Structure 1
Amino acid sequence: MYLTIESVLSTCPDKETLDVQEQDSVVDTIYRFCRHRTVDPRTCVLRNEKGQALDPTYSLSLCGIKDGDTVYLGESAMEQAPATKTCDVRCAVIAAAAALIGTIGLIAVCVSQGWTSSLSDQYGIVLDAGSTHTQLFVYRWPGLRRNNTAATVTQVASCRAEGSGIAQYSDDPTKAGPSLDGCLSTVAMTAVPAHARADTPIYLGATAGMRLLRERSSETSTQIMTSVKTTLRHYPFQFEPVQARIISGMEEGSFSWVTVNYLVGNFENNVQSLSPTTYGALDMGGASTQITFVPPSDVTIPLEDATLLRVYGVDYHVYAHSFLCYGRVEAERRFFANLVVEGNYTSEVENPCAPSGYNLTLPASYLFEAPCSQGRQALLAWGSEVTLPYHIDAAVTNFTMVGSSSYADCVAHVDKLFNFSQACDYASCSFNGVYQPSLHGKFQSSTQQSAPIAVRHGRRCKTSQAHC
């Protein structure tokens, strides 16, 4: 969609129409407009045509921005925006599940100043539509509390929807929505009391599986999301179409970072601190992997990897990058396909990373006809495609991976998934020429388990609170 941004800054009166996506965040849109202008995006705020400041952490669609709208860039975002408002309970609830954090019971929550609560407990429902499955979560938080205080949100129920993720319904998109009925009609309707249902927001955040499908067929992904929205409308919960969407990789990483730091208590501790402390977050899904952390204050983050988050009134300038096709399922798929190619397409292929005696048979179509094997995403992620010779029919051919349990060979083959020698246009890169600041602080995964991370340059590992 097209969005016109008109700057009312005295130092930079200007106007530009940008081609944006509805899932783009407000802060990313500000950074994009300011990229080639002598304006510090951290001091700016976007306002809609009614003069209302847009929350920088929200997507354009969640702020009600539509195709053809005009927004206005002004000064002092943090003082003028309802920006004492960082995210309300509903914002935090969708953050919880969108980052693939299904097992945690508490999520990061912040309440805007002047927010009036009810006496009854309140509820929120989130569907995390990942690449391998969709999980439903029901959360509850106390309705009565003082203004400007944080609420503890408790997970009261969860349910795994049928099927292996809504993206898997590409052959018949109309089945995507009904696949959620089992969890909605039993768990959600049971966990939320009847009197609270009309005021209970329900969200669905689709992650990398749907991002990949959208790359391959935007029409199919739209049909799937339409089916999902149709199903959600049938239930007596509070729902608007913008509450079911495909989230970006940066959002996914940022939500994971918020969750990790809430769980360890950093946000509350940072309110009165002159030197805020945060943990970095690692989030591996089925189709993508995210790394998110706050680098030292003197580090300038490229705009495409920078996001501004405000939690409990404290600003955090966060580095976030999502590696599409580097989730567990897609990286493993590429690994197996590489083994088949190097094995000259024989029916049995040696897998040095599997124990001796372990066999796994996979269809050729599974290995070679996925977006991370062929097409634009394969080229972006790996720099090359993996293909079958023309004389092999993918529809009827299978390959069996035979375990050989060879550590050295396993490491050598896994190494081929990463390009550590690609030219880096920045001071430091992780792999594939992707910018990454030097690691800073401790890291945890979004499943509450500590997780190491390393940056490799050639054959040498550099680590910070991590090991190789």
Structure 2
Amino acid sequence: MGKWRYGVILDAGSSGTRVHVYRWLDNARARQDDDSGRLKSLPKVKTKEDWTKKIHPGVSSFASKPEQIGPDHLDGLLQHALKIVPDDAVKETPIFLLATAGMRLLKNVEQQLLLERICSYIRSNSDFLLPDCDLHVQVIPGETEGLYGWIATNYLLGSFDSPGEHNHGKDHHTYGFLDMGGASAQIAFAPNATEAEKHANDLKLLRLRNVDGSSREYKVFVTSWLEFGVHEARNRYIKALQAASGAEGIKELPDPCLPNQLRTTMDGEIVSSTTEPKTCLLGTGKFDECLRQTYALLDKDAPCPDQPCLLHGVHVPAIDFDVNHFIGISEFWHTTHGIFEIDYKDKAYDFNTYQERVKEFCSQDWGSIEKSISDHQLGKVDDHKSAYELCFKASWIINMLHDGIGIPRVGLEDTKGSGHNGTKEVLSHGKNKGFIGPFQPANKIHGTEVSWTLGKVVLYASSQVPPADGEALPVGFGSNMPGVPGDFQYPSVDRLARPDEAKEEVHGEHWHDALFAGDSPRRIPGILLFIFIIIITLYFLCGRTRRQRIYRKLGTLFHRRGSSQHHHHHHNKKSGFLGGKLPFTRRNPPSYERVLEDGTRDFELGNVASDSEHESERHSDSGSPSGRGLKRTSEWGSTPTLMFGFDNGSSGNAGLGINNLPSNGNMDRTGLVVRTESRDHLSPIALGPTTNGRRSRATSPARPNHVSPIMTPLADD
């Protein structure tokens, strides 16, 4: 094991898949640090900008062609990761493909087929560590995605390791997390003490582990809104426009969320002079009307079975914005800052400034916007589609933030011509109090991109730390209850790191290395186990005839060597090689005697050497108390022969699972033997008390007057 540990995460989103490579210091090396503060911190996970690569489209687009997802989609991502991870670390490097909202919209059958193809391709085309497909290649719920994002945000801001520097008041030091992609949106935060107690059953218990093996726990609320991402919200908006038109055959639908005079298809493609769709959208550029129509998409009037709710009838504990300060990533960042990056230098979000800039942009004619794109005046927006989508996205973000989640509208005061800069005031407010305002968009923190994938790796790296003395609870998350709840989610198949890993690093060792590596402590016992498995395999493959020859030769050999000393062990001669020591080496497995209650048939399961020999064994224990014969077979130590009573009708056969038995004669000696005997031949010792020739069976002491329909083992007097 080298100095560094690595992890590979494939974020399979709705619009594309992005591979992230992370690394952290091996725990044995990290514990050599003399700084006690660092030992009390989480593992330091690092990444680089060029360790990330994204390709389009998303994995969900391969639902109709799953056989192509490997060569056409995954191959380039795997090759990128293999260039970064050192060759000698690949086998120890876990890989995860975690799909989000795009895959959640597919049917279960389509999901499973894609996931199976993905796992098979990764295993066949790389040596990355992938011990369990169900854990490493899966569609994660929105709640899990939100919790990973919450971990990543607080990890980068330092609120985990330095809570004193992030005191928001009321003994609260963590930040809330907001994320919006194309298909879904997530929220995660730790409620204040009052709400946490009131809604304890709604919280997730998260457990992490420091470098020194000590644990830390957090109680977080997290939920997700499917179809509340920008693309799915846009689809719902278009359907609402069509429904509101109320008439068929309309060629143009006015759309206030598109720039004035822009015409697009219902799918969002710009209509050119050569294309004439049946119905198109005509932009009017009325941003206020756009805000009003997108507000309806929040579904604020939906029934709320579990109060309180924010939107769409989804329960969320009350948010205390005095202590709950949110970081927004993905669309919350790109839509509020991406297009205005050149002249919008201040990174803080202030509602009034942002809304004024969006309104000014969306009121322009489409021709003016096209010219701005050509002159590179729109920041990172260099294509027409991103430009005309901005108006809808901006209105949706504003409604989600302020009318949906309820974030205060910072900077509401008028800024036109007053020289007052609300954004700078927000920045100053954050610096003075040591924390930012109620909402802050972010793309990077301390040079590292904020991504939920980082939270997944932090959780995994934490789980690889050996627990300190007395620390036995695993790393992961689940329902908010003590111990390990039934729904507890482990970062990987390794639920608990071994306590001796800090002394000797053997974690991740492959079976072939453990068996044959020169310095492995498992080498000798591993080789012996391997040889034993080979012997057992050859034993079963050599065939019954050859085994019998071997028995006779070995039996003769052992008999000659030990006949002068072991005459008193007469039963061992019949047992063959090793007799009763190893039951599976006998030719005849132990027979189980079953006695009919009514009738004269005696069913015996297993092989018997001869009827006479079996009868002699059955009555050999004449010295048992009360004259009851109870044979203990030598091949099973002290296990008594079991005798089962049942009626002679069909119900008895059904109870044992035996059907259509022959009325006379013996079956093959390896199977069920059927022997017909007279009533007089069955001795009273074996049968016990009788009544009119029938066996009288005592009732169960636990259940009086009830007879088991299947079996009644004889008691060992």
> Shared fold (TM-score greater than 0.5)?
yes
Q: Quick check: 1:445 aligned with 2:328?
A: yes
Change beyond 3 A, Cα 1:407–1:165:
same
Computing the radius of gyration from Cα coordinates, the structure with the larger value is 2
1:195 Cα deviation after fit? 1.1
| Paired residue type of 2:113 | Q
Q: Which one of 255, 272, 277 corresponds to residue 351 of structure 1?
A: 255
* 2:311 counterpart residue number: 431
Q: How does 1:44-443 map to 2 (within 5 A)?
A: 118-143=1-26, 144-146=29-31, 149-156=41-48, 157-161=51-55, 163-213=56-106, 217-234=107-124, 235-240=126-131, 241=133, 242-270=135-163, 275-299=171-195, 300=197, 305-312=202-209, 313-343=215-245, 344-345=247-248, 346-363=250-267, 399-440=279-320, 441-443=324-326
| Paired residue type of 1:286 | G
Gapped regions of structure 1 (runs ≥ 5): 1-117, 367-395
| Paired residue type of 1:295 | P
1:427 Cα deviation after fit? 4.4
* SS in structure 2 at match of 1:416: helix
Confirm or deny: 8 A CA contact 1:201 1:239 kept in the other structure: yes
Change beyond 3 A, Cα 1:398–1:128:
farther
In structure 2, distance between residues paired with 1:410 and 1:455: 15
1:182 Cα deviation after fit? 3.6
Change beyond 3 A, Cα 1:150–1:306:
closer
1:305 Cα deviation after fit? 4.4
* SS in structure 2 at match of 1:140: strand
| Paired residue type of 1:256 | G
Q: Percent identity?
A: 28
1:199 Cα deviation after fit? 0.9
In structure 2, distance between residues paired with 1:121 and 1:432: 45
Change beyond 3 A, Cα 1:418–1:184:
closer
CA displacement, residues 135-173 of structure 1 (integer Å, 9 cap, x when unaligned): 011112222211665332222311113x41111111112
1:304 Cα deviation after fit? 7.7
Q: How does 1:2-17 map to 2 (within 5 A)?
A: none
CA displacement, residues 207-234 of structure 1 (integer Å, 9 cap, x when unaligned): 1111111xxx211111111111111102
1:276 Cα deviation after fit? 4.3
1:263 Cα deviation after fit? 1.3
* SS in structure 1 at match of 2:161: helix
1:337 Cα deviation after fit? 1.9
1:188 Cα deviation after fit? 1.1
Change beyond 3 A, Cα 1:280–1:311:
same
In structure 1, distance between residues paired with 2:88 and 2:229: 41
Confirm or deny: 8 A CA contact 1:361 1:399 kept in the other structure: yes
Confirm or deny: 8 A CA contact 1:260 1:446 kept in the other structure: no
In structure 1, distance between residues paired with 2:58 and 2:201: 28
Confirm or deny: 8 A CA contact 1:363 1:398 kept in the other structure: no
1:419 Cα deviation after fit? 2.0
In structure 2, distance between residues paired with 1:433 and 1:228: 35
In structure 1, distance between residues paired with 2:202 and 2:220: 8
In structure 1, distance between residues paired with 2:234 and 2:120: 34
1:353 Cα deviation after fit? 1.2
| Paired residue type of 2:7 | G
* SS in structure 2 at match of 1:323: strand
In structure 1, distance between residues paired with 2:227 and 2:234: 10
* 2:532 counterpart residue number: none
Confirm or deny: 8 A CA contact 2:41 2:161 kept in the other structure: no
In structure 2, distance between residues paired with 1:357 and 1:412: 20
In structure 1, distance between residues paired with 2:292 and 2:244: 13
TM-score using structure 1 length: 0.61
In structure 1, distance between residues paired with 2:109 and 2:406: 43
Change beyond 3 A, Cα 1:149–1:228:
same
Confirm or deny: 8 A CA contact 1:177 1:224 kept in the other structure: no
- Between stretches 203-212 and 135-144, larger displacement belongs to 135-144
Gapped regions of structure 2 (runs ≥ 5): 32-38, 210-214, 270-275, 334-347, 352-399, 410-436, 440-717
1:189 Cα deviation after fit? 1.4
1:397 Cα deviation after fit? 6.8
Determine which structure has the larger strand proportion and give its number.
1
Confirm or deny: 8 A CA contact 2:164 2:173 kept in the other structure: no
1:428 Cα deviation after fit? 2.6
* SS in structure 1 at match of 2:282: strand
In structure 2, distance between residues paired with 1:244 and 1:286: 21
* 2:658 counterpart residue number: none
Q: How does 1:33-48 map to 2 (within 5 A)?
A: none
1:438 Cα deviation after fit? 2.2
* SS in structure 1 at match of 2:30: coil
In structure 2, distance between residues paired with 1:398 and 1:195: 59
| Paired residue type of 2:408 | T
* 1:106 counterpart residue number: none
| Paired residue type of 1:412 | R
* SS in structure 2 at match of 1:189: helix
Question: Alpha carbon RMSD of aligned pairs, Å?
Answer: 3.0
Determine which structure has the larger helix proportion and give its number.
2
* SS in structure 2 at match of 1:176: helix
Change beyond 3 A, Cα 1:455–1:356:
closer
* SS in structure 1 at match of 2:160: helix
